[in-house]
Every structure is written in structure tokens, then in C-alpha cells.
Amino acid sequence: MLKACLNGARTRAEHPALPVTPAELAADAARCAGLGADAVHVHPRGADGRESLHPSVIAAALEAIRAARPGLPVGVSTGAWIEPEPAARVAAVRAWTVLPDFASVNAHEPGAEAVAQALRERGVMVEAGLWTLDVVAAYARWRVPAGRILIECMAEGPAVALADAAAMLAALPSAPGGPQVLLHAEGPATWSVLTEAVRRGLHSRVGLEDTLSLPDGSTTPDNAALVTAALTAGAR
């Protein structure tokens, strides 16, 4: 699977083609899916332009994307920077009126397991985001099973990111029929780690959330160009 991560926590000041509104997210999602992306991950914004977990904000983004591209799996973030209070994140998930297909939960954040449990109770697939080797060990103690594990290499240097990826993947609990694994990085390490995901036969992702650059180092014009480059590299 190749997931297109359309906007993340970035602002339009960082890239003029960053999709922000529900209509922009929908158009970009449809474009990326038409090129071959299998799913999209978005960070919906409220009217003030800030990321939000409010039911109306989540609903507006999901409904717009699904109207533009029916059947395309859509996920959102539950990052603590959006709503710092764990109980408020849980309450937001329980109040959602339109549900995403999946939602990422950063396992190192306070209250992560409770947020994951709330998602499972709503029937939303949990993506457990693991950023470090220590967090892999902590995730192994979760009582809430994830449907997908995100091995997220946060180091900027490709060599360090690749080493981190190898260590975290080796430390993952192994069991037949276990969760899917998606490997990705950010910034300068994006393309090296995506190539490693392809080599290992793992899921990956690409988009303006993770990088503003194409493999040759030039600035990407948009998410569509990033998806095209990832598919050319063999990502699925």
C-alpha cells in the first residue's frame, strides 16, 4: 500500500500547494488516488486554519474526500499537538459523527493507549506510530491491538534513519497474522527510507506532510508529483 499524506502539520507558507480546506483535501486526494495512491492521511483544519479533532471539522474533511473519491480509505491524526489533554482526545473520538477508516496514534504520547481503545470501540482501525526503539518496547505492552504499525524514522540523516528503521523493525513483536507494517521517514531521509520499504516489501507513504522534495532534490510542485515519484520507485 502507498498512502498519500497530504498536509500534516505544515502551513501553506511552507508550500503553496498544501491542501488545507475540505475542498482542497478532496481534490488532492482524488488526484493522488487517480495516480495510484491506495489511501490518504489528512490533518483536517477548522475555520481558523488550525488542526482540530472537533466532530464537525473531521466530518467536513471526510465527507468531502469521500464524495470526490468514493471508496478511498481515509485516515486522520490524533496527535497530542492537536489536543494536548488525553481525556479531551478520547472525548473527541467518542463524539465523532463521521468516522475515518483509520487513525494514527503516536504511542509515545500521554494517553495513547486510551485514545487507541476509544478508536477501536468506534470501529476505527488504529495505526500505532512508533518513533523510537524504546517506544517499540512500550507498544509491545499495549493491551489494545493495532491494525497497522507505523515505523516512523524521525532522524533527518538518511544513514541514521535507515539504521533506526532496521533496529525498530527487528524489535517488533512477531506473530502470524499480526498488524500490517508501514515504514516511512521525513525530510531528507524520506526517499532513502521509502526505497528500503520497497526492498522489504512493506507499506509506505509519501506526501507534503513528510517532504517538500522529489528524489532528485528539487522542490515538488504538489502531492501528485510525490506520489508519481514513489510509484516509479516501486512503492505500493
Tens digits of per-residue pLDDT, 110-162? 999 999 999 999 999 999 999 999 999 999 999 999 999 999 999 989 999 99
Q: What percent of the chain has pLDDT over 90?
A: 95
Torsion sign, CA atoms 93, 207, 34, 220:
positive
Other CB atoms closer than 10 Å to residue 224's CB: what's the count? 18
**pTM of the shown model:** 0.96
Average pLDDT over residues 72-86: 98
Helix (H, G, I), strand (E, B) or coil at 106: strand
With beta carbons less than 8 A apart as the criterion, state whether 28 and 19 touch: yes
* 176 has a pLDDT exceeding 90: no
Q: At what angle do helices 223-232 and 22-35 cross, to 10 degrees?
A: 20
Kindly indicate the confidence band of residue 175, based on its pLDDT and cuts at 50, 70 and 90: low
Task: Map 173-232 to HEC letters.
Answer: CCCCCCCEEEEEECHHHHHHHHHHHHHHCCEEEECCCCCCECCCCCECCCHHHHHHHHHH
Mean pLDDT, the chain, as a whole number?
96
Tens digits of per-residue pLDDT, 17-60? 999 999 999 999 999 999 999 999 999 999 999 999 999 999 99
- The domain tally of the chain equals 1
With beta carbons less than 8 A apart as the criterion, state whether 127 and 103 touch: yes
Residues 170 and 161: their CA atoms lie apart, in Å, by 14
Cβ within 8 Å of residue 204, ≥6 positions away: 1, 2, 3, 182, 183, 184, 193, 194, 197, 198, 230, 235
Helix (H, G, I), strand (E, B) or coil at 147: coil
Query: Range of 196's domain?
Result: 2-232
Burial pattern 163-198, b for ≥16 Cβ within 10 A else e, equals ebbeebbebbeeeeeebebbbbbbbebbbbbbbbbb
Kindly indicate the confidence band of residue 173, based on its pLDDT and cuts at 50, 70 and 90: confident
Asked which of 36-40, 88-92, 94-98, 136-140 is least confident by mean pLDDT, the reply is 136-140
Which domain CATH number covers 84? 3.20.20.70
